[in-house]
Structure 1
C-alpha cells in the first residue's frame, strides 16, 4: 500500500498547489448560496415539525424511553403511524402495513420463504436504524432479544425481527396509553408485565 501511494506523491503535490481564480470564486459562491438556502429550508421544516409535536410532547417522551429510539425517531414514527391505533385492528396489522412481518412458508420444518413486504419505507428505515443502534448500546431486554436472534438466524434477520418487536411495543404503548418498563437483559427470567399503565 505504501509503495502504491509513493508513486502518486507527485500527483498529490500538484493537486495541492492549485490556484483559486475569479471564476472559481464565482462558482464556489453559487454552491455556498445553494447550501445556505437548503439549510434555511431544513431549519424551517424542523421548526414546523417541532411546533406540530408540541401538543404531543408526552407521547414523544414515552417513545423516547424505548431503547434505541430517540426524539427524532419518535417524531418520524408518529408522523408515519399517527396517534390513533384503532385504525390497526392489531399489532400484526400494523407490522404488515409497515412491511415488517416476514412470511412463514414452512414445510417439513424447513422455511422456504421468509421475505418481508415493501411496506412503509420511512417507518421501516427508522425502526431498523433503532434496532441497529440499540444492538450497540447498553444492555436491555431488546438488545438481548437482538443477539439471541443473531445467534440462530444472523444479523440481517435480527435487525428486522428487532424492528418488528419495537413496532409491537410502540403499538402497545399507544393503544394502552402506557409507559415502557425495562427489565434489563435478563427479561426472560422475569415474570410480570412489560408495561405499566399511566
Structure 2
C-alpha cells in the first residue's frame, strides 16, 4: 500500500514439540508436560501433576522429563522458591529457562489456578513466546553469594555504628559533631576509654590526637551525662562493629582467593557494535556510540596468550586479573569490580552488545511511540546491586579530571544530576562490557577529548558570536587576547 514501510524482523519462530513448565509455590510446584500424541497426528497430550519442592522429588522429575525427551523446561521466578527446580534440573543437563512472572500473565478475565497457570506457561514455552531471565553459571553464582553477603555485612556494620552514635547523643555526648569519623583511630580510642570507665572530659579529649578539632572543642563535646549503663550498651555496639569488621575482612580475603583461582573463558572475537571502525592517531578500533571510547579490535588469541601487538599487555588469565583491569576505570574500585562481575558474569555471551547489557541493567529508557507522539519512558528498576555499584562509581568518576568526569559534568549542566548519573552509569557499564568481552585494558581518552573533537573554525565562530552578544568590541577583544 502507498506509504507503507516494510520492516524486517530478525526473529525466527521456533515451535517446540516437547516442553514442560513449572508453576512454583513454596512447598511444591505444579508441573505441566506437553508432548505429541502417540497415535493421533497433530494432537498434543497435556499432563499436569504436583511435585514436592525437595531435591529427591525434583531429581525424579528430572528423570521423567529426560525420558519424555523434553527440549526445554520453563520455571516461573517466584521468590526464591524456583531455585530447587532450576538448579536440580540444570544439573541433569536439561535446558532450563527462568522467566519473570510479570511477563507470563494469563489473559485477563480468565479463571486463575495453579493448574491453568502451568498449562499457560507450557503453551508459551512451546511457541517460544518467553523472555529468558539471566542466571549466571554456578561458579559465578557462588561468587555473587559472597559479594552480596559483603554488602549485607557492611550495611549491618553501618547500622551498628549509627546505633552507637545515637547512644552517645542520648547520653548528651556530642562527639560526632567535632569528629568526622566517630569510629576512626582517634574516635575509637575515646570510645574505648568511655567503655573502660573514663569520665573526665579533659583526659578523654587528650586521646583525640590528630583530630582537627581543638582540645577545648573536644572537651566541650565530651562533657555530657555518660553513665555506666551507657557504657554497657556502647560496648555491645563496639563488639558488633569489631565482629563485623573481622567477617568483612575474612570475606574479602576469600573473594581474592576465589577470583585468583577462577579462570576466564576463551577470548571471544569482537562483536561489532552499531558503530564503524574508527582510526584515532593511526590506531584502528571500534568507537562506542555512548562513551566515545575507542577500542582496539579483538583477536582470537587463547587465554594466557599475548596480543598480536608487540609489547602489548598480556591477556588476563583469571577473574582476579580482570578485576585488576577494571580497577583502572574511573570510579571503579576492586569491591565494585567484583560486585559487577559477580552480577553480570565473566562471559558476555548472553549479552550480544553493550547495549543489550545496559538494557538488562535497566539503564536505557523505554521508547513509547503512538501516532505522531514519541517520548522516552522511565529506565526501570534493574539489578539493584549493579545499579548501586555503578551509581557510586558514576558519582566518583564525576569528580575526576577524566573523560568520564568531563562527560558527567557536561551532561549534568544540560540535563540535570539524575539523568547525568544514569548516563554515566551506562557509559561505565558499556566500558566494562567491552573490557570483559575482549579482555583488554582500559584506555583513557583524556579530559580534553571533547575539545579535541571540535572544529577549530566552528569554535571560533561560536566564541565570536558570544563576544558580540556580550557587547565586546573588536578593540577590547584584541586587548584581551594580548593580555592572555
Same fold (TM over 0.5): yes
2:441 aligned counterpart, secondary structure: strand
1:172 to 1:17, Cα distance in 2 relative to 1, 3 A:
closer
Aligned match of 1:18: 225
Higher helix share: 1
Mapping 1:23-62, distance limit 5 Å: 23-55=229-261, 56-62=319-325
Shift of 1:152: 2.2
Cα-Cα RMSD: 2.7
Please state whether the residue corresponding to 1:116 is helix, strand or coil: coil
Cα offset, 1:161, TM superposition: 0.5
The question of 1:83 aligning with 2:346 is answered: yes
1:9-46 per-residue CA deviation (whole Å, 9 max, x = no partner) reads xx999x9342523x444333333333332222222222
Aligned length: 177
Tell me the distance in 2 between the aligned counterparts of 1:28 and 1:64: 37
Closer, same or farther in 2 for the Cα pair 1:136/1:110, shift >3 Å?
farther
Q: Which residue of 2 aligns with 1:4?
A: none
Alignment-derived partner of residue 158 in structure 1: 420
Q: CA deviation at 1:106?
A: 5.9
Q: Which has the higher contact order (CA 8 A, sep 6+)?
A: 1
Secondary structure of 2:245's match?
Answer: helix
In structure 2, the CA distance between the partners of 1:18 and 1:44, relative to structure 1 (3 Å rule), is same
- Name structure 1 gaps, 5 residues minimum: 1-10, 191-198
Correspondence 1:142 to 2:379:
no
Q: Choose from 169, 172, 181 the match for 2:431.
A: 169
Higher strand share: 2
Q: Encode CA deviations 1:143-176: one digit per residue, 9 max, x unaligned.
A: 2221222232111101100100111111111111
Select 1:116's aligned residue among 379, 383, 392: 379
Aligned to 1:186: 448
Return closer, same or farther for 1:93/1:17 CA change in 2, 3 Å cut-off. closer
